[in-house]
Amino acid sequence: MTYTIEGKTGAWEIVVGLEVHAQVISHSKLFSGASASYGGEPNTHVSLVDAGFPGMLPVLNQECVAQAIRTGLGLRARINLESRFDRKNYFYADLPTGYQISQFTHPIVGEGTVEIELSDGTVRHIGITRLHMEQDAGKSLHDQDPARSFIDLNRAGVALMEIVSEPDIRCPEEAGAYLRKLRQILRYLGTCDGNMEEGSMRADVNVSVRKAGEPFRTRCEIKNVNSIRYVMHAIEVEATRQIEVWEDGGEVDQETRLFDPARNETRSLRSKEDAHDYRYFPDPDLLPLVVEQAWVDELERGLPELPDDKRDRFVKEYGIPRYDASVLVAEQAIADYYEEVAKGRDARLAANWVTGDLFGALNRTGRTIADSPISAAALGGMLDLVSDKTINGKIAKEVFEDMLETGDSAAAIVDRKGLKQVTDTGAIDAAVADVMARNADKVEEYRGGKDRLFGFFVGQVMKAMAGKANPAMVNEALKKVL
């Protein structure tokens, strides 16, 4: 079903295209040997190239190119064997060269696609228009001194990938799913850490509205939104604003806007500049970038299994539902953990324990899978005790909690607490007889046709045996005598 917003004149559709800036994971910057790592004392990661000294020559960092190509391959996109670097001229205090080196007419990566899945299970494909490489700018610091501003050039020249989507997104949920999927792919590839809080992934959000069946109308671009939740809010707020403009007989102007989450509104920043305002031209210091297909093939062979492929393999190999598989491949570390638990064991049971009890425990304790108090081997050891019927499912929960607290192995806990499942028919029969003797009235009722009392007897026998009886054997013993 199409997502719409109701205005005075009826339903409006939303059209969204996203431009994502993703900081490339690399040791050094795109055109200099200075460190690209985050943080550091201001202006300690700056070479003369980054500082825009006259006469300095940029030297392209091969690893950044490799990262861009890996990303293109991960987005199932066309890799352009020849691309070019242009100068995009504009003045910023924190851009000492007075231009940004970017790729304008010939990006390194062309059309691709990202598959997203919505909460109702709908699968959609969002087109990628292009991915190009460019430099990041420095950072102006206005809060260090009451009278002066400072500039930190540590970030100046760090490699960015700008990933531009087609205007294929039709609602906030799709925008959220697209960004999560993109971030997941980048993290799997190891080409960007996807950390939106630290600004290593940020989105420009292009929004327009239209009536069903119409061509696209004018869009506005909301700059630098730094969380997925804010992107989703901004779309809703901006679309609502545009609908009012159109319905009041006005025209939406193409402009750049800012989202203010505190006031839940967007505000005009500047009217949209056009490409000619930047006076793009090929950077005379850099040759066209030509890469060989053989290198692209080599990079492709080195790619990890991507999340969609992993999900499909989990469904096939482990026989788990697609939804569970999607949850388990959310992060590479979770997927690895799950596989270690599932290998050679009941894979469905493993999936239930990982997505249920383990995720619950991690949430409760504010931990991630990387610092899980229970290792995959330890959880697997516990599942082995369930499978070989040393403990039943209920006791397993108790053992799990103990493992969380003490870090002991499941086997040690079962020994220490004497939790071994009772499979001795004599003991079970004795408990059954005792429960029946103490509940003669209920036995009458059951035999008189009150079938649902069966559960009551099971519960009583289990209780009498401190939860340690084999449930299947208790059921059988009860059926025999009742």
Q: Which of residues 181-210 bind ligand ADP (CB under 6 A)?
A: 206-208
Residue closer to ligand ADP by CB (options 170, 345) is 170
Contact status: 255 vs ligand ADP (CB under 6 A): no
Residue 46 near ligand ADP by CB under 6 A: no
Give the angle subtended at the CA of 252 by the CAs of 249 and 256, to the nearest 5°: 160
Interface stretch with ligand ADP, choices 146-154, 162-170, 237-245, 380-388 (CB under 6 A): 162-170
Q: How far is the CB of 217 from ligand ADP (least distance, A)?
A: 6
Task: Tell me how far, at minimum, the Cβ of 158 lies from ligand ADP, in Å.
Answer: 21
Number of residues that bind ligand ADP (CB under 6 A): 14
Q: Hey, what's the torsion of the CAs at 436, 439, 440, 443, to 10 degrees?
A: -70
> Cα(90)–Cα(99) distance, rounded to whole angstroms?
5
Q: Which stretch binds ligand ADP (CB under 6 A): 1-9, 10-18, 307-315, 327-335?
A: 10-18
Q: Quick one: 135 or 206, whose CB is closer to ligand ADP?
A: 206
Binding span for ligand ADP by CB under 6 A among 11-19, 52-60, 239-247, 293-301: 11-19
Complex with ligand ADP: residue 87 or 219, whichever CB lies closer: 219
- Beta strands at 201-210 and 150-152: parallel, antiparallel or unpaired: unpaired
| Rounded CA separation 313/308 (Å) | 9
The closest of 64, 110, 69 to 301, measured between CA atoms, is 69
In the complex with ligand ADP, the residue whose CB is nearer, 17 or 138, is: 17
Q: Compute the distance between CA of residue 206 and CA of residue 125 in angstroms, rounded to an integer.
A: 18
DSSP result, 22-40: EE---SB-SSSSSB--S--
CB of 171 vs ligand ADP, minimal distance in Å: 13
For the packed helices 62-74 and 293-301, what is the interaxial angle rounded to 10 degrees?
70
Distances (CA, A) of 308 to 18, 148, 201, 321: 21, 50, 21, 14
For the bound state, the minimum distance from the C-beta of residue 16 to ligand ADP, rounded and expressed in Å, comes to: 6
Listed in sequence order, the residues at least 6 apart from 176 whose beta carbon sits closer than 8 Å to its beta carbon are 228, 229, 231, 232
The residue number whose beta carbon is nearest to ligand ADP equals 17
Of the candidate spans 24-32, 158-166, 260-268, 312-320, the one that interacts with ligand ADP by CB under 6 A turns out to be 158-166
Residue 166 contacts ligand ADP per CB under 6 A: yes
Nearest to ligand ADP of 16, 116 (CB atom): 16
- Looking at beta carbons only, is 19 or 255 nearer to ligand ADP? 19
Task: In angstroms, give the least distance from the CB of 49 to ligand ADP.
Answer: 27
Q: Which of 216, 229, 287, 415 binds ligand ADP (CB under 6 A)?
A: 216
According to DSSP, the β-strands at 255-260 and 220-225 are parallel
Nearer to ligand ADP, 179 or 207 (CB): 207
Separation CA 150–CA 157 (nearest Å): 18
User: Could you say which residues in the range 71-100 bind ligand ADP, by CB under 6 A?
Assistant: none
467 binds ligand ADP (CB under 6 A): no
What distances in angstroms separate CA 382 from CA 69, 159, 279, 396, 463, one per listed residue? 43, 46, 65, 7, 23
Instruction: Give 210 or 345: the residue with its C-beta nearer to ligand ADP.
Output: 210
CB of 127 to ligand ADP, least distance (A): 8
Q: Which is nearer to ligand ADP, 15 or 158 (CB)?
A: 15
Query: Which residue of 25, 108, 133, 164 would you call a contact of ligand ADP, by CB under 6 A?
Result: 164
Contact flag: residue 16 with ligand ADP (CB under 6 A): yes
- In the list 70, 88, 183, 219, the residue contacting ligand ADP (rule: CB under 6 A) is 219
Tokens of 32: 């200099």
Distance CA(324)–CA(334), nearest Å, equals 12
Tell me the CA distances in angstroms from 312 to 116, 162, 301, 321, one per residue in order.
Answer: 14, 29, 20, 10
Distance CA 321, CA 124 (A): 19
The two three-digit tokens of residue 412, written as one number: 């040690």
Q: Are strands 289-290 and 82-83 parallel, antiparallel or unpaired?
A: antiparallel
193 in Cβ contact with 212 (< 8 Å)? no
Q: Among 80, 100, 165, 200, which residue interacts with ligand ADP (rule: CB under 6 A)?
A: 165
Residue (219 or 311) nearer to ligand ADP, CB: 219
19 touches ligand ADP (CB under 6 A): yes
Nearest distance in Å: CB 406, ligand ADP: 53
Q: Which residues bind ligand ADP (CB under 6 A)?
A: 15-19, 164-167, 206-208, 216, 219
